[in-house]
Amino acid sequence: MNETVKKSKRDLLSLNDLSTSEFSMLLERSARLKTELKSGGNAPSLSGRSLGMIFEKASTRTRVSFEVGMFQLGGQALFLSPRDIQLGRGEEMSDSARVLSRFVDAIMVRTFAHQKVETMAHYADAPVINGLTDLLHPCQVLADIFTFEEKRGSLQGKKVAWVGDGNNMANTWIQAAVRYGFHLVIATPSNYKPDEMILTQARQELSTSSADASVTLVRDPREAADQADLVTTDVWTSMGQEEEQRARIEAFQGYQVDGGLMAAAHSDALFMHCLPAHRGEEVTAAVLEGPQSVVWDEAENRLHIQKAILEWLILGE
């Protein structure tokens, strides 16, 4: 492995991989790319470049946005499922990383264990992007923040309410609050809190930070939503947790985002959901389809934020 290349390349495995200025840069570049696309198309900045996309988890938004994004920037994306490549026959992730690095300019991995993307990044000379793991979902939260700022201006210093499972989205919102500077209040049942390691690291960083930011855990969803600028949630049962579905539905009673919960937030608060949504479980149809919901713009913005990520990692810009 070429160690010189390995040390200089960048990866996006978590939002902790971004400085505050890089965070802002990606949001600003996404806005420019979106404007360019709507007014005639993007310049082919990634002409001749390729993205390898490894999917061990099913996907709609991640697959389509990365594939279309590479196409719009003049590059090519390759969909690689385990049954189509040697990972499905037991090849080590480290070996796949070193081989794929000889062929493609970046690698996106959507999988279960976060250690897999860390292994890929360690052994790959090409930049690696976390398309989702059970621990973190950085591309989605970047798109969510981009969507908020498109609608309401800077999120910095504002209040975000997370209601429901302390899952990979909640973990990533914690990292975002620390990195980008806003107030996050998370309401979960006691047995479904965010990852303790993520929380500990965030508290340590906030204790020495001067940013207008905080991370607070509560049990009461209304306390989280009170005067919030953004209310967001996710399904109660994620991929790989299907056997827990009945227990989870019982545990999350009272954590549904409905009209009453949205009424506790600011009158112009936005509602977000990373999708897919289960109407009648974590959110009512009235909220999901209501005037405060921006879930469809949020989904579209995965395309624009991911194009900015690809340019930054592949071109170093």
Q: Is 278 a catalytic residue?
A: no
Q: Is 234 a catalytic residue?
A: yes
Alpha carbons 225 and 172: distance in angstroms, whole number: 19
Closest CA to 134 of 152, 120, 116, 156: 116
Alpha carbons 94 and 25: distance in angstroms, whole number: 31
Q: Is 246 a catalytic residue?
A: no
Query: Which residue reads 């993007």 in tokens?
Result: 42
Distances, alpha carbon 16 to alpha carbons 42, 202, 306, in Å: 29, 10, 17
C-beta of residue 282 within 8 angstroms of C-beta of residue 234: yes
- Three-state secondary structure of 76-104: EEEEECCCCCHHHHCCCHHHHHHHHCCCC
Q: Which of 165, 302, 304, 306 is catalytic?
A: 302
Q: Is 122 a catalytic residue?
A: no
Binding residues: 59-62, 86, 110, 137-140, 168, 234, 238-239, 274-275, 302
Query: Which residue reads 């809190």 in tokens?
Result: 193
Q: Which of 11, 29, 105, 110 is catalytic?
A: 110
Q: Is 110 a catalytic residue?
A: yes
C-beta of residue 229 within 8 angstroms of C-beta of residue 222: no
Distances, alpha carbon 263 to alpha carbons 69, 152, 257, 258, 287, in Å: 37, 18, 10, 9, 11
H helix runs in 86-195, sequence order: 93-100, 114-123, 138-152, 168-176
Q: Is 302 a catalytic residue?
A: yes
Binding residues for carbamoyl phosphate: 59-62, 86, 110, 137-140, 274-275, 302
- Strands of the chain (E only): list them: 50-55, 76-80, 106-110, 128-132, 159-163, 183-187, 214-218, 230-233, 270-273
Binding residues for L-ornithine: 168, 234, 238-239
Q: Which of 137, 183, 273, 304 is catalytic?
A: 137
Q: Which two tokens stand for residue 130?
A: 């976390």
Q: Which of 234, 248, 256, 304 is catalytic?
A: 234
Q: Which of 114, 134, 140, 183 is catalytic?
A: 140
- CB-CB neighbours of 14 under 10 Å: 21
Catalytic machinery residues:
110, 137, 140, 234, 274, 302
